Amino acid sequence: MKLLVTGAAGGIGTRLRQMLPAIYKDIRWSDITKPADLAPGAEFVAADLAKMNEVEKMVAGVDAIIHLGGFSVEGPWETILQANIIGTYNLFEAAYRAGVKRVIFATSNHAVGMYPRDEKIGVNVTVRPDSRYGISKCFGESVGAFYADKHGMRVTCIRIGNFADTPIDKRRLSIFLHPEDLVQLLRIGLEHPQIKYEIFYGASDNAAAWWDNSNAHKFGYRPRHKAEDFRAEALAAQDKLPPDPIGDYFQGGAFSSAEYDADRRQS
């Protein structure tokens, strides 16, 4: 398998550059600029996702793509539009033209961040984004569904929680995703023969989980890591944070409370 990983310079991409070469021997890495710590001999193609001609060169000759690229936090609409909406469409369209068989789209918990924390949700709920960034991830999930349903591309969308070695506050006890567990989800998306179009939650085995991840388990996902192992440390850190009544009510945390001026009693 010739694998392309976009967003190679980002936080998740940087960690995957340490982990994936032990599993997949032929990887092309891409970002808008070359990472300074790229391994010697690693293949790299620079590309601006908003420029179709650059994206076409980036995807040429690959069999599968892990799409992490884009703007990874909330930002101005024009920034989100170019990197995450136009960029994601370009990625899928160029992949289709190039005959790419599988795409894994790194979506986000922020696509459903306006659900309250006391409501456990599965993958088939209506999206309720908490930000412009979250809107872009809803768009990406829809684009993936289009190329899967219309063109037979095998697409896996992973709604990533908090990618880290340990959870660092109360919210992250519910959405913690250890890097090794993410790699397991990626391997399912790249290798499982029955993938068509699927959404998984990117979360480890968290006792306080807000998400029903049975769809991922159906495909063999068995997370090895537990947020609960770090509960005491996470709650101690939480005690030092200022209160956020809105962010503490919704799953999206600070993304949910930013710009919030609705009447929460109507939520």
Per-residue pLDDT tens over the stretch 170-215: 999 999 999 999 999 999 999 999 999 999 999 999 999 999 999 9
Supply the pLDDT for residue 266: 60
**Under 8 Å between Cβ of 188 and 220:** yes
Which strands form 43-46's sheet, in the order they lie side by side?
A: 43-46, 27-31, 3-6, 64-67, 102-108, 154-160, 197-202
Task: Report the predicted TM-score, pTM, of the whole model to 2 decimal places.
Answer: 0.96
Place of tokens 């959404």: 199
Q: What does the pLDDT average to over 240-250?
A: 95
Of 185, 200, 95, which Cα lies nearest the Cα of 141? Answer: 200
Given the structure tokens 């509960």, which residue do they identify?
231
CA 5-163-226 angle, to 5 degrees, is 130
* DSSP SS3 for 118: coil
Write the pLDDT tens digit of every residue in 25-41.
Answer: 999 999 999 999 999 99
Task: With both helix axes pointing from N to C terminus, report the angle between 11-19 and 179-191 in degrees, rounded to the nearest 10.
Answer: 70
State which residues form the domain around 146. 3-266
Buried b vs exposed e over 7-45: b needs ≥16 C-beta within 10 Å?
bbbbebbebbbeebeeebeebbbbbbeebeebeeeeebb
Based on the structure, what is the number of domains in the chain? 1
Give percent above pLDDT 90 in the chain. Answer: 98
Amino acid 191 reads: E
What percent of the chain stands above pLDDT 70? 99
133 carries an active-site annotation? yes
pLDDT average, residue stretch 239-264: 94
Helices (H), the chain: 11-19, 52-59, 77-80, 87-97, 132-151, 170-175, 179-191, 214-218, 231-238, 254-257
CATH number, residue 114:
3.40.50.720
Catalytic residue among 133, 147, 201, 221: 133
- Model confidence pLDDT, tens digit, residues 91-140: 999 999 999 999 999 999 999 999 999 999 999 999 999 999 999 999 99
Residue 267 has pLDDT above 70, yes or no: no
State yes or no: pLDDT of 142 exceeds 80.
yes
28/61 Cα distance (integer angstroms):
10
The predicted structure's pLDDT at residue 76: 95
When pLDDT is averaged across residues 153-164 and rounded to a whole number, the result is 98
Tokens 């070695």 appear where? 165
Q: Distance from CA of residue 24 to its chain's centroid?
A: 20
pLDDT at 127: 98
